Amino acid sequence: MQKIYICRHGETAWNITKQHTSFTDIPLTENGIKQAISLKDRLKNKKFSAALTSPYKRAKETCELAGFEGTFENSLVEWNYGNFEGMTTKQIQAKIPNWSVFKYGCEGGESIDDVTKRGYNMVEKLLKIKGDVITFTHGHYSRVLIACWLGLTAKEGRYFCSSNTSLSILGYEHNDRVLKLLNDTSHLKRS
């Protein structure tokens, strides 16, 4: 049965400073490049019917450095943070106490309902592809995609994690959609 590999992009400068990055198109750091290259060895024996990537530099570079020629898929872009773009959680919480993207969505950006709908639409696109698929996407959106695969909403994305260049695998058990692997970064320990 089909498996969907979800790969988060490598480290960026804003990952280090913990700034929310959706539409700001920044490249990988030197460490992010090393992280992405480490994926190549990890994935070298896997066969995929499709490799899809967010069009943003950080995801596209990760895809290429991991050895794939990805097709751009706009539905894989990060949650649109709107007015919170470039801000840290601490800065946002100074304005909105206890704020979390998974509780409140983003003022001037995507709501929880918006990103949930986009996640379900992406799952439907993935289901139409015959065979295994690898995707290169972003931290919060990868968590949304996992939640939608499992029939949940974006709010439940808070229960998952997604480190830089982590791999998560969506699949099936007895015809039920399941999470087969979450946030695996074992390739980073080898490099």
List residues with catalytic annotation. 9, 78
Tokens, residue 183: 């946030």
DSSP string across 90-126: HHHHHHSTT--HHHH--TTS--HHHHHHHHHHHHHHH
User: Scanning the structure block, which residue is given the tokens 């998952």?
Assistant: 160
Q: How far apart are CA 143 and CA 141, in angstroms?
A: 5
Q: How far apart are CA 128 and CA 50, in angstroms?
A: 11
Confirm if 56 and 46 have CB atoms less than 8 A apart.
no
- Identity of residue 78: E
Longest dimension (CA), the chain: 48
- How would you class 69 by CB atoms within 10 Å of its CB: exposed for 0-12, middle for 13-18, buried for 19 or more? exposed
What are the phi and psi torsion angles at 134 (to 5°)?
-115, 135
